[in-house]
C-alpha cells in the first residue's frame, strides 16, 4: 500500500517516549488557522518556493520537461496547470529554494528505512511516531506501516487530531503504544471557527479510546484569542473521562509564516506571541481539575 | 634564581655535554633546577605551588633540535610541507606515567626500584635516575619551610613526609600527584597528558578516611588541578575495566563526577571510559552535567580502545590498563604513544591524484606519479590510494628521521622511573627507546572532505556523466568560477558522508582501511610501530587553507572536515544518521584516536527524556563500535549574549577541536563562526 508523506524527522525527542522518528503524513481534514505544518495540509504533492534562497540560476526552468517554470524578474514562476510536481526541479535546486513536499512511499519500504534507527529506539525506549497532517486520514497506509513496524519490534505512537472514523481507531488501537491526541476546543462552534470542522467525532473517539484502555497524552495548542477560553471546558471534559490523562499545553508560535508564503497559501496565522507564562496560566487552570498538566514551553 | 638565569646555566650544562646521549646532561640540568628555582605558594594552594623554571628544559630540547635536526626534510618534503600535504614532528609528550606505581611507591620507593631492577648500578642511567630522585626529595625539603612560612602547615608537613616516604593519606596521595606532575611537566619538560584513572588511584586511600574529609579533598583537588598551567588542559580518566572485563566504576567515580558538576571548573576535561556495564545512573548523571554546560567530557569506548591496542601487538594487560594520553588518543601501559608525530592531508591526496602528483595551488610536484587518465572510478580511486600511501610514507620518513635523533634531544628521568621495563633495560624512555612499546603515530585529516569528494566525482563523472573528469578538474582549478549552481547542487543534493548512506559510508570505511594498511604496525625508527589516528584538532583549518577547491563543493581555502564527523552542513538527517556513518569506520584500526563531536542545541535534549536520548545515543554508538564521542550542548541565544556581555559568562565553555576554551576568550571571528555553526545545526 502506498501513502504520501510530507517529511520524516529523525531524532525527535518531544513526540513521545525516548528517541523517535516522526513521519509526517501529508493531508489533513482540518484547517486549523494556526497550523504550523501547512505543507501537510493538502493531500497532493506540491512544491514550496523559498524566494529568499533562490540563486536566480534558472536551473528549474531547464530541467522541467513540461515547461512549467519560467523566469520572471529573475525569479522562477511555476504554471500550476502544467506542473505535475515531479520534483525534477527540487532535486536540482542548488539553493534549496525549491522544496518538494509529498514523497510517495510503499509502507514496506518506509518501514525498512525507519528500522535503520532501531538500535537507537531500543536503547531509549523510543520508536516511530505517525503524525501529519493527519496520519489517520490515510488509514490503510497507516495501519500497514504500523503493522510492519510492530513486526520489527518498533513501538508506534499515533499523533492525531482525532478526526477520523471510529473504525479507524478500532484498527489502530492494538497497534499503537501511545496516542498523542489533540484537543483544540470543546465548544462545537469554537472548534468550527478554529479548524473548519465540528468536533463531535473527536470527542467521541477520545471517549472510546479512553474506555478501551489506550495510553493517551492530550495536547492542547493554546492560541489566545481563539481557544484560550476553552481551557476550563477542556479541564472539565477530561476530568469527566474514566481515566485522567496527562495533558501538555503547547504554546502557539508563528514561525511557520515562511512556509505559507512558499506554498502560495493564504497566511492564516494569528499575529500574536505566546509566552511560557501565558501557557502557565492554562496549566494552573487544568491543575485545578486534578489533571496532570505540563507546560510544553518549559517542561516535557 | 629567576627563569632567565636558570636557562643560561642550563644551556652551559647542556653545551658541556659531549657524550652523544643527553641522559646525564638532562639529569644534571634537572637537579640544578630543583636546587635553584624560585618557588612560591599561591594563597589558594592546598597541595602545591608554582616554580620559576617551567620552560627551561623545553627550550634546551628546542635548541638541540635546531642543532641536530638539520637534515630532516628533503627538498620535496619542504615543498610538500609548505603546500600542506603532510608533516612530521618529534613528540615528547602525550604520555602517561604509571600513576599507580607512583602513589604506591613514593619517591623513595621509586628510587629503591631503580636499584633493584637496573642491570648495572653504576651506569650513567642509574646515576642519573638517582641524581634526580634525590634532588626531588631535597627539593621538597627545601620548599617545605617556604610553605610553613606562608602559613600552610599541613601542606608543609605533607611535603616533608613525601620527601622520605610513600603517601599514606589521601591528602598526601593527591599532593604527590601535583609533585610528580610538576617534576615531569615543569622540570624535565615532558608534556604529560593525563593524571590517570583518578577513581582507581584515590579509592584505596579514601577507604581509610571519613567521608566528609574525602569530599573536601576531592573538591580541593579538582579546584587546584584547574589552575595547573598545561597546554590544552590536563585531563584525567574515570571508570574503565580490569583484565577480567569487570567494570571499575566505584564510589570515587561518582564523587568526582558529582564534585566536578558542582564546581564546573573551566580548565579541566576528563574521559569516561565506558564499558557495557558502566552503571546507567552514572552515565545519566554525566549527561545531566553535560546538559548544564559541562562540555568537557569525552566518552571513550573501552572495548574498542583495548581491541585497537591489541591489534598493535600489545599484551592484554597493557591494553586493558591503557590511558587516554591526549584529547582522544590511547596508549597502553608502558607505551610511549607519541600521538602527534606525523600527519597527512587526505583531500590533498585526491588533489594530487587529479593533477599528476602536483599540488594544484603551488604547482609543485610533491606526490607520487599517477598519470591522471582514469577511465573508471576504480582507476581514480586506486590512484588516490597510491597518493595516500605515498604521503603517509613521506610523513613517517620525516618522523623517523627525527626519532633517530632522540638520544641527542631529550631525556625524561622522572617519567622513565615509573616504567619497570625501562629500568630493566637500563635506559631512558626517549634516549634509549626503552619503554615496553616505543610507538609513533600518524593522523589523517579531512576524512569526510575526501570521502565526499570521491563520492561526488563518482556520481558526476562516472555515473551521471554530466561532464568529463578533465572538465570537472578545470572547474575545481577555477575555484568554481561561474559554477555556483554546480557547487550548490553538489553541496546540497549529492550523497554525503554523515547521512547513513551505505554507499558513501562504505567508501569511508575503505579509505580508513587503506590508511590502516599504510600506517598501523609499520615499523618506526625506535623498534616500535606506527599507529593510525583520525583526529584533526585545528590542523583541519590550517590544511584547509592550503587545499584547493575540492569536488565535494568546498571552495579553495575553506576548512576541511573535523575529526571523523561529517563536513560542516553535510549532515542533513540528524544525529542517528551521522553516527551510522561514523561507525562505518573500523575503530579498532584507530588506536591513535577517532572522535566525533555532536553539537546539540539545549532545547533538543531538554527534560528527562532528553537525558534518556543522550544516554541511548551513547550506548548505541558504543555498541556499533564507535571509538570516542563528545557532546557540546549549546544554546544559540546564550552564545549571542555571551558575545555581547562577556563579563556575564566567565566560565562558558565550548569545546573547540580537542580541548575546551572559554567562549569569551575566543577571537571575534571564532565566536561568530561558532554561533553560525550552532544556528545552522539547530534549525
pLDDT in tens, A172-186: 999 999 999 999 999
CB contact under 8 A, B607 and A10: no
Question: Which of A13, A92, A259 to mutate against chain B (most B CBs within 10 Å)?
Answer: A13
- Nearest CA among B451, B642, B469 for reference residue B561: B451
Length of chain A: 300
For A59, the closest of B485, B487, B606 (CB atoms) is B485
Kindly state the average pLDDT of the residues A107-113: 98
C-alpha–C-alpha distance, residues A72 and B148, integer Å? 85
Any idea what DSSP says for residue B19?
Answer: S
In chain A, the largest separation of any two C-alpha atoms, in whole Å, equals 62
Contacts of B613 in chain A (CB under 8 A): 11, 13, 18-19, 124, 126
Q: What's the pLDDT at B232?
A: 61
SS (H, E, C) B179-228: HHHHHHHHHHCCEECCCCEHHHHHHHHHCCCCHHHHHHHHHHHHHHHCCC
**What are phi and psi for residue B590, nearest 5 degrees?**
-125, 55
Is the omega angle on the peptide bond into residue A133 within 30 degrees of 0, that is, cis? yes
B336 - beta bridge partners?
Answer: B438
CB contact under 8 A, A116 and B492: no
pLDDT in tens, B203-253: 999 999 999 999 999 999 999 998 887 766 788 999 999 999 999 999 999
Strands (E), B534-627: 595-601
Burial label for B246, CB within 10 Å (0-12, 13-18, 19+), is exposed
Per-position DSSP letters for A166-190, written without gaps between them: HHHHHHHGGG-SEEEEE---SSHHH
Q: From 1.10.10.10, 3.30.40.230, 3.20.20.70, 3.40.190.10, which CATH number describes the A2-43+103-295 domain?
A: 3.20.20.70
In this structure, how many other beta carbons lie within 10 angstroms of the beta carbon of residue B292?
Answer: 12
Question: Which of B459, B485, B681, B682 to mutate against chain A (most A CBs within 10 Å)?
Answer: B485
Nearest CA in chain B to A93: B489
Buried-exposed string B39-49: b where 16+ CB fall within 10 A, e elsewhere:
bebeeebbbbb
For residues A24 and A37, the answer to whether their CB atoms sit within 8 Å is yes
Q: What's the pLDDT at B682?
A: 41
CB contact under 8 A, B613 and A125: no
- Nearest CA among B544, B563, B537, B570 for reference residue B628: B563
C-alpha–C-alpha distance, residues B409 and B413, integer Å? 13
- Nearest CA among B678, B614, B606 for reference residue B642: B678
0.90 surpassed by pTM: yes
Please write down the long-range contacts of A200-207, taking CB distance under 8 Å and 24 or more positions apart: A201/A162, A201/A163, A201/A164, A201/A165, A201/A166, A202/A161, A202/A162, A202/A163, A203/A162, A203/A237, A204/A166, A205/A162, A205/A164, A205/A166, A205/A169, A206/A162, A206/A181, A206/A241, A207/A241
- Nearest CA among B167, B222, B576, B671 for reference residue A119: B576
Q: What ipTM was estimated for this complex?
A: 0.93
User: Where do the CATH 3.20.20.70 domains begin and end in chain A?
Assistant: 2-43+103-295
Tell me the nearest-neighbour CA distance from B355 into chain A, angstroms: 27
Task: Grade residue A15 by pLDDT with cuts at 50, 70 and 90.
Answer: confident
Nearest CA in chain B to A126: B613
For residues A20 and A126, the answer to whether their CB atoms sit within 8 Å is yes
Contacts of B574 in chain A (CB under 8 A): 9-11
Tell me the nearest-neighbour CA distance from B584 into chain A, angstroms: 14
For residues B296 and B655, the answer to whether their CB atoms sit within 8 Å is yes
C-alpha–C-alpha distance, residues B438 and B338, integer Å? 8
For B489, the closest of A19, A94, A116 (CB atoms) is A94
Contacts of A299 in chain B (CB under 8 A): 606-607
CB contact under 8 A, A55 and B488: yes
**What are phi and psi for residue B635, nearest 5 degrees?**
-130, 115
CB contact under 8 A, A10 and B489: no
Q: What's the pLDDT at B227?
A: 81
SS (H, E, C) B573-598: CHHHHHHHHHCCCCHHHCCCCCEEEE
For A94, the closest of B488, B577, B616 (CB atoms) is B488
Contacts of A17 in chain B (CB under 8 A): 609, 612
CB contact under 8 A, B493 and A11: no
Exposure on the CB side of residue A198, measured as CA atoms within 13 A = 4
For A57, the closest of B485, B491, B493 (CB atoms) is B485
Tell me the nearest-neighbour CA distance from A86 into chain B, angstroms: 16
Nearest CA in chain A to B485: A94
Contacts of A59 in chain B (CB under 8 A): 485, 489
CB contact under 8 A, B487 and A94: yes
Question: Which of A63, A87, A88, A120 to mutate against chain B (most B CBs within 10 Å)?
Answer: A120
Q: What's the pLDDT at A300?
A: 61
Q: What's the pLDDT at B31?
A: 97
pLDDT at residue A11 tops 50: yes
In this structure, how many other beta carbons lie within 10 angstroms of the beta carbon of residue B353?
Answer: 26
Give B372 or A292, the one with higher predicted confidence. A292
CATH no. of A48-101: 3.30.70.20
Segments making up each domain of chain B, as ranges: 1-68+96-192, 235-324+594-683
Q: What's the pLDDT at B660?
A: 60
Q: Name the grid cell of B501.
A: 548512506
Contacts of A55 in chain B (CB under 8 A): 484-485, 488
Tell me the nearest-neighbour CA distance from A22 into chain B, angstroms: 12
B236 - beta bridge partners?
Answer: B270
Nearest CA in chain A to B491: A94
pLDDT in tens, B620-635: 999 999 999 998 887 7
If residue B110 lies in a helix (H) or strand (E), which one and from where to where? helix B99-117
Contacts of A94 in chain B (CB under 8 A): 484-489, 491-493
Scanning chain A, the segments in alpha helix (DSSP H) are 59-63, 88-91, 107-114, 118-124, 139-151, 166-172, 188-195, 200-211, 231-239, 257-263, 276-287
CB contact under 8 A, A11 and B613: yes
Q: Name the grid cell of A83.
A: 506542473
CB contact under 8 A, A55 and B485: yes
Contacts of A13 in chain B (CB under 8 A): 604-606, 609-610, 613
CB contact under 8 A, B576 and A10: yes
If residue B67 lies in a helix (H) or strand (E), which one and from where to where? helix B56-68
Spans of chain B, pLDDT less than 70: 231-232, 650-653, 655-661, 677-683
For residues B319 and B306, the answer to whether their CB atoms sit within 8 Å is yes
Amino acid at each position: 500500500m502506498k501513502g504520501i508523506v510530507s517529511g520524516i524527522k529523525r531524532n525527535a525527542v518531544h513526540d513521545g517516549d525516548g528517541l523517535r522518528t516522526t513521519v509526517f503524513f501529508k493531508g489533513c481534514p482540518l484547517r486549523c488557522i494556526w497550523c504550523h505544518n501547512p505543507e501537510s495540509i493538502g493531500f497532493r504533492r506540491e512544491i514550496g518556493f523559498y524566494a529568499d534562497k533562490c540563486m536566480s540560476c534558472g536551473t528549474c526552468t531547464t530541467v522541467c520537461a513540461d515547461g512549467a517554470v519560467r523566469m520572471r524578474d529573475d525569479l522562477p514562476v511555476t504554471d500550476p496547470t502544467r506542473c505535475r510536481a515531479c520534483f525534477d526541479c527540487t532535486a536540482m535546486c542548488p539553493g534549496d529554494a525549491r522544496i518538494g513536499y509529498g514523497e510517495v512511499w510503499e509502507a514496506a519500504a518506509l518501514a525498512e528505512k525507519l528500522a535503520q534507527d532501531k538500535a537507537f529506539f531500543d536503547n531509549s525506549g523510543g520508536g516511530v511516531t505517525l503524525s501529519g497532517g493527519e496520519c489517520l486520514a490515510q488509514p490503510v497506509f497507516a495501519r500497514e506501516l504500523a503493522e510492519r513496524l510492530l513486526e520489527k519490534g518498533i513501538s508506534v505512537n499515533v499523533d492525531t487530531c482525532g478526526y477520523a472514523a471510529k473504525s479507524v481507531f478500532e484498527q489502530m488501537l492494538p497497534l499503537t503504544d501511545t496516542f498523542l491526541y489533540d484537543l483544540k476546543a470543546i465548544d462545537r462552534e469554537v472548534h468550527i471557527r478554529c479548524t473548519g470542522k465540528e468536533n463531535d467525532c473527536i470527542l467521541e473517539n477520545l471517549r472510546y479510546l479512553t474506555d478501551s484502555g489506550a495510553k493517551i497524552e492530550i495536547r492542547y495548542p493554546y492560541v489566545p484569542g481563539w481557544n484560550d477560553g476553552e481551557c476550563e471546558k477542556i479541564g472539565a471534559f477530561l476530568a469527566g473521562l474514566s481515566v485522567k490523562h496527562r495533558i501538555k499545553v503547547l504554546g502557539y508560535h508563528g514561525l511557520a509564516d515562511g512556509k505559507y508564503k512558499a506554498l502560495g497559501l493564504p497566511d492564516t496565522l494569528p499575529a500574536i506571541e505566546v509566552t511560557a507564562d501565558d501557557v502557565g496560566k492554562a496549566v494552573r487552570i487544568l491543575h485545578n481539575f486534578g489533571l496532570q498538566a505540563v507546560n510544553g514551553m518549559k517542561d516535557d | 634564581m629567576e627563569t632567565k638565569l636558570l636557562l643560561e646555566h642550563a644551556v652551559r650544562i647542556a653545551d658541556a655535554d659531549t657524550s652523544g646521549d643527553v641522559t646525564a646532561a638532562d639529569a644534571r640540568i634537572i637537579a640544578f633546577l630543583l636546587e635553584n628555582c624560585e618557588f612560591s605558594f599561591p594563597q589558594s594552594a592546598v597541595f602545591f605551588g608554582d616554580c620559576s623554571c617551567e620552560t627551561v628544559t623545553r627550550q634546551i630540547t628546542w635548541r638541540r633540535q635546531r642543532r641536530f635536526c638539520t637534515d630532516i626534510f628533503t627538498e620535496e618534503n619542504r615543498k610538500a610541507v609548505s603546500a600542506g600535504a603532510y608533516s612530521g614532528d618529534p613528540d615528547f609528550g602525550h604520555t602517561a606515567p604509571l600513576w599507580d606505581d607512583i602513589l604506591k611507591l613514593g619517591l623513595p620507593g621509586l628510587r629503591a626500584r631503580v636499584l633493584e631492577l637496573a642491570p648495572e648500578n653504576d651506569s650513567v642511567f642509574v646515576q642519573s635516575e638517582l641524581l634526580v630522585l634525590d634532588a626531588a626529595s631535597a627539593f621538597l625539603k627545601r620548599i617545605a619551610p617556604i610553605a610553613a612560612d606562608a602559613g600552610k602547615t599541613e601542606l608543609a608537613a605533607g611535603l616533608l613526609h613525601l620527601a622520605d616516604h610513600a603517601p599514606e593519606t589521601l591528602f598526601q596521595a593527591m599532593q604527590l600527584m601535583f609533585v610528580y606532575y610538576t617534576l615531569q611537566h615543569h622540570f624535565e619538560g615532558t608534556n604529560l597528558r593525563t593524571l590517570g584513572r583518578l577513581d582507581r588511584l584515590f579509592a584505596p586511600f579514601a577507604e581509610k578516611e571519613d567521608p566528609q574529609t574525602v569530599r573536601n579533598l576531592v573538591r580541593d583537588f579538582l579546584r587546584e588541578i584547574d589552575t595547573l598551567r598545561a597546554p590544552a588542559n590536563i585531563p584525567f580518566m574515570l571508570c574503565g575495566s580490569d583484565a577480567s572485563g569487570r567494570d571499575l566504576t566505584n564510589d570515587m567515580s561518582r564523587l568526582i563526577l558529582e564534585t566536578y558538576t558542582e564546581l564546573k571548573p573551566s580548565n579541566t576535561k576528563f574521559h569516561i571510559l565506558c564499558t557495557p556495564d558502566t552503571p546507567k545512573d552514572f552515565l545519566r548523571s554525566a549527561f545531566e552535567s553535560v546538559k548544564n554546560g559541562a562540555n568537557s567530557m569525552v566518552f571513550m569506548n573501552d572495548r574498542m580502545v583495548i581491541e585497537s591496542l591489541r591489534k598493535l601487538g600489545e599484551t592484554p594487560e597493557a591494553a586493558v590498563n591503557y590511558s587516554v594520553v591526549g584529547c582522544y588518543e590511547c596508549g597502553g601501559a608502558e607505551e610511549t604513544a607519541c600521538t602527534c608525530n606525523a600527519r597527512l592531508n587526505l583531500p590533498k591526496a585526491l588533489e594530487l591524484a587529479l593533477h599528476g602528483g602536483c599540488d594544484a595551488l603551488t604547482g609543485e610536484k610533491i606526490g607520487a606519479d599517477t598519470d591522471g587518465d582514469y577511465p573508471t572510478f576504480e582507476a581514480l580511486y586506486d590512484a588516490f590510494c597510491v597518493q595516500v600511501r605515498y604521503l603517509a610514507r613521506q610523513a613517517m620518513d620525516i618522523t623517523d628521521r627525527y626519532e633517530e635523533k632522540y638520544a641527542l634531544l631529550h631525556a625524561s628521568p622522572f617519567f622513565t622511573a615509573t616504567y619497570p621495563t625501562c629500568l630493566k633495560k637500563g635506559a631512558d624512555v626517549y634516549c634509549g627507546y626503552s619503554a615496553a612499546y616505543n610507538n609513533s603515530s600518524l593522523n589523517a585529516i579531512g576524512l569526510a572532505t575526501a570521502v565526499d569528494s570521491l563520492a561526488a566525482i563518482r556520481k558526476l563523472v562516472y555515473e551521471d556523466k554530466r561532464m568529463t573528469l578533465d572538465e570537472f578538474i578545470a572547474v575545481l582549478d577555477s575555484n568554481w568560477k561561474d559554477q555556483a549552481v554546480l557547487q550548490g547542487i553538489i553541496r546540497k543534493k549529492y550523497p554525503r558522508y554523515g547521512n547513513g548512506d551505505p554507499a558513501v559510508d562504505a567508501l569511508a570505511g575503505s579509505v580508513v582501511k587503506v590508511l590502516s594498511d599504510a600506517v598501523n604496525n609499520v615499523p618506526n625508527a625506535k623498534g616500535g610501530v606506527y599507529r593510525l589516528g583520525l583526529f584533526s584538532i585545528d590542523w583541519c583549518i590550517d590544511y584547509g587553507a592550503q587545499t584547493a577547491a575540492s569536488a565535494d563543493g568546498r571552495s579553495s581555502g575553506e576548512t576541511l572536515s573535523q575529526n571523523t564527523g561529517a563536513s560542516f552542513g553535510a549532515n542533513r538527517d540528524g544525529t542517528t544518521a551521522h553516527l551510522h556513518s561514523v561507525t562505518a569506520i573500523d575503530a579498532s584500526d584507530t588506536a591513535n584516536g577517532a572522535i566525533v563531536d555532536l553539537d546539540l542545541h539545549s532545547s533538543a535534549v531538554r527534560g528527562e527524556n532528553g537525558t534518556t536520548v543522550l544516554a541511548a545515543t551513547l550506548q548505541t554508538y558504543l555498541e556499533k563500535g564507535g571509538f570516542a564521542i563528545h557532546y557540546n550542548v549549546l544554546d544559540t541565544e546564550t552564545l549571542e549574549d555571551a558575545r555581547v556581555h562577556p563579563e556575564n559568562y566567565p566560565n562558558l565553555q565550548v569545546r573547540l577541536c580537542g580541548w575546551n576554551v572559554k567562549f569569551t576568550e575566543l577571537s571575534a571571528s571564532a565566536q561568530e563562526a561558532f554561533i553560525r555553526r550552532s544556528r545552522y545545526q539547530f534549525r
